[in-house]
Amino acid sequence: MIEDKVYAARSILVVGAHAFDAEVIAGPLAAVAAARGAAVTFLHLSMGEQGHPCLIPEHYCAQKEEEAGRAAARLGIASRNLGLRDAFLPADDETALKLCDVIRELRPEVVITHWHGSWHKDHRAAAHLTQTGIFFSALPTLKRGHAAHTPQLLLFGENWEDDEGFKPEHLVDVSDGFGAWAEAVREYELARGLSSFPYVDYYSALYRLRGCLRGTQYAQAFAAASHSWNAGSGLFAPPVRQGLGR
């Protein structure tokens, strides 16, 4: 089961286009995994600094950096900011190499990011950058600051902006992490009424809905990478030696 693999991981990396994205696509899961001993990191590609109706981007960026830090503390995880520009995330190889470096440094068994079917260009870019970053990370011939690493599992989280073609293939029980998530997201002004979209209501109801279908109180839905991706990642792994038999 995907759930067993996720919660057996020692290191998990969640890549979000903006601060607050990682919290909604994997926040409750992260809280559960961290409580069970996993090292969980949220990598915010940008802070989402363009999204305030009154504050200039520089001031909102500083505010969201503080909010992200407080949210991470409540979830029991680490938070990083790649420092890219909100609304202008580049889906290029140079940026993917930066993700490669983080993946090689942290060596996560599980990576979670956006589903690519989104009307939001930054979310599409985040999905592309993460997949390309994993590809670069796995290349043994690509010399960087850390040794090559291939994550065992790539998952795509559920986000209201990324619904085109998303199929909830895997439902993961996150009941034990919901309380920490509910407190963590409220560290963001975005969740306390800045936006006209009722984020907390929406995701609380969504996690409850997925929990009903999973047979638990709360659950999060994920889509998985294709079988060809899983098979292809093995191209860079050591060969499996099998006995010849007699």
Structural contact between residues 36 and 133, judged by C-beta atoms closer than 8 angstroms: no
Cα 211 to Cα 6, 13, 35, 153: the distances in Å are: 17, 23, 20, 22
Paired sense of beta strands 153-157 and 11-18, if any: unpaired
> What is the pTM assigned to this prediction?
0.94
Structure-derived torsion over alpha carbons of residues 68, 162, 12, 184, reported in degrees to the nearest 10: 30
**Residue 245 pLDDT greater than 50, yes or no:** no
Cα 119 to Cα 55, 78, 139: the distances in Å are: 25, 29, 31
The reported pLDDT for the residue numbered 246 is 39
Per-residue pLDDT averaged across 152-171, rounded? 98
Tens digit of each residue's pLDDT (9 = 90 or more) over 190-237:
999 998 899 999 999 999 999 999 999 999 999 998 877 767 666 666
Per-residue pLDDT averaged across 26-50, rounded? 98
Tens digit of each residue's pLDDT (9 = 90 or more) over 90-132:
999 999 999 999 999 999 999 999 999 999 999 999 999 999 9
SS3 letters across 191-202: HHCCCCCCHHHH
Between CA 27 and CA 34, with CA 31 as vertex, the angle to 5 degrees is 130
Structural contact between residues 84 and 19, judged by C-beta atoms closer than 8 angstroms: no
Distance separating alpha carbons of residues 133 and 157, to the nearest angstrom: 17
Distance separating alpha carbons of residues 132 and 97, to the nearest angstrom: 8
- Those residues whose C-beta lies under 8 Å from the C-beta of residue 117, and which sit 6 or more positions away, are 162, 163, 164, 165, 166
Domains and CATH numbers, the chain: 2-234 (3.40.50.10320)
Per-residue pLDDT averaged across 38-64, rounded? 98
Structural contact between residues 181 and 20, judged by C-beta atoms closer than 8 angstroms: no
E-strand ranges in the chain read 11-18, 39-46, 78-81, 110-114, 153-157, 170-173, 219-224
Mean confidence (pLDDT) of the chain: 94
Distance separating alpha carbons of residues 246 and 231, to the nearest angstrom: 29
